[in-house]
Structure 1
């Protein structure tokens, strides 16, 4: 009886595994759990002003269709693991959650300088370059053999329902104890220009909605009446 049922069960298991593998990025979630556990239990705690590092490899599932360099989208995927390590070791994420808040990725930009070849070992450095009440800005560098920076990414981490600045100050008191350099008092100029670019993009996207809202809410224009001027926040 079992000899008849086993092939059917085996086929069902293989089909289930293929379906799971095809619909769920198992490697991503497994690596994320490993990264979080390693940072939480086995790596040294870090000050929020320190630069943290994670090691990685450019493997065959990372390469582009041209088969000789790392796919551009994989760089942003790798940043998830670098941020998770930074969050855990500095206590940033845990303290945001403890304060009843949350953190999401609001924006990101990346500049590619030189491609990473298959089977190249590289590291990702992460550091907080500036923060305010609502946002923590992070800079990441992909550093290859010889110390060459292959790519630079800047990410805007939006903190919700709590103060990012208050959390950062708390972490400075808990972990730094005056040993680190003072926190950035002013936004770096290149970061300020990037923020302005994002604000212009947001205003551009809001403009059609504002125009439609005004047209729907205003009365028909009489002779000589001016069209309302659109303003953006």
Structure 2
């Protein structure tokens, strides 16, 4: 009888835990960090990171026909953490007393990701300014190499110099990587220029009460 009470208490505690917190999200985030640190190779800051995912039954929309739009953004959290760990971006920012937060995101959906389809997320830095790092994420299905969705994210760095962080990481030597490759800051793509302008207009409108 005592064992039954213990089992019931444990089950009740787990239900309460899942009710109050998104346990699966935190567990998976911890797994991504551990996997990136222990089992994946370090990368240069200008390299492209790849993570693999699969559209499960818990990821589909109400029509059970394709991946829920919100799931794309959720998957980007895990892709970014993998990138942060393998390039030492997060550790470098923290070592300088800073923090990194999501400032803005835009995503364009091009074609459905079907249930139980395998996809890859390719993540890379495409530009940075005085306050932020701009990352591009591509959802690619390996079977046809088609880009199903593309997202641009602005990561704001707080209490640390973006330029100092990036210059330190640009000089970082990675095994098998030519140290002269990727030492230059990339030119700002036209789409990023326009996106920054769009965000600035939105900020101005909000400040003016629109």
Question: TM-score scaled by structure 2?
Answer: 0.93
> How far 1:23 moved relative to its partner?
2.2
Pair 1:182 & 2:184 matched: yes
- In the TM superposition, what are the counterparts of 1:51-130 in structure 2 within 5 Å? 51-130=48-127
Three-state SS of the structure 2 residue aligned to 1:117 is coil
Instruction: Report if aligned partners of 1:36, 1:84 keep a CA contact under 8 Å in 2.
Output: yes
Instruction: Report if aligned partners of 1:142, 1:150 keep a CA contact under 8 Å in 2.
Output: yes
> How far 1:98 moved relative to its partner?
0.2
Three-state SS of the structure 1 residue aligned to 2:111 is coil
**Structure 1, unpaired ranges of 5+:** 210-233
Instruction: Report if aligned partners of 2:170, 2:183 keep a CA contact under 8 Å in 1.
Output: no
> How far 1:37 moved relative to its partner?
1.0
CA-to-partner distance for each residue in 1:161-189, whole Å, 9 max, x for gaps? 111111111101113621337330x3111
Instruction: Report if aligned partners of 1:107, 1:155 keep a CA contact under 8 Å in 2.
Output: yes
Question: TM-score scaled by structure 1?
Answer: 0.84
> How far 1:7 moved relative to its partner?
3.4
In terms of fraction of residues, the more helix-rich structure is 1
Three-state SS of the structure 2 residue aligned to 1:165 is helix
Three-state SS of the structure 1 residue aligned to 2:188 is coil
Larger Rg: 1
> How far 1:39 moved relative to its partner?
1.0
> How far 1:10 moved relative to its partner?
3.0
1-side partners of 2:138 and 2:183: how far apart? 20
Matched residue, 1:158: 156
Q: Give the number of equivalent residue pairs.
A: 205
**Structure 2, unpaired ranges of 5+:** none
Instruction: Report if aligned partners of 1:49, 1:183 keep a CA contact under 8 Å in 2.
Output: no
Instruction: Report if aligned partners of 1:133, 1:166 keep a CA contact under 8 Å in 2.
Output: no
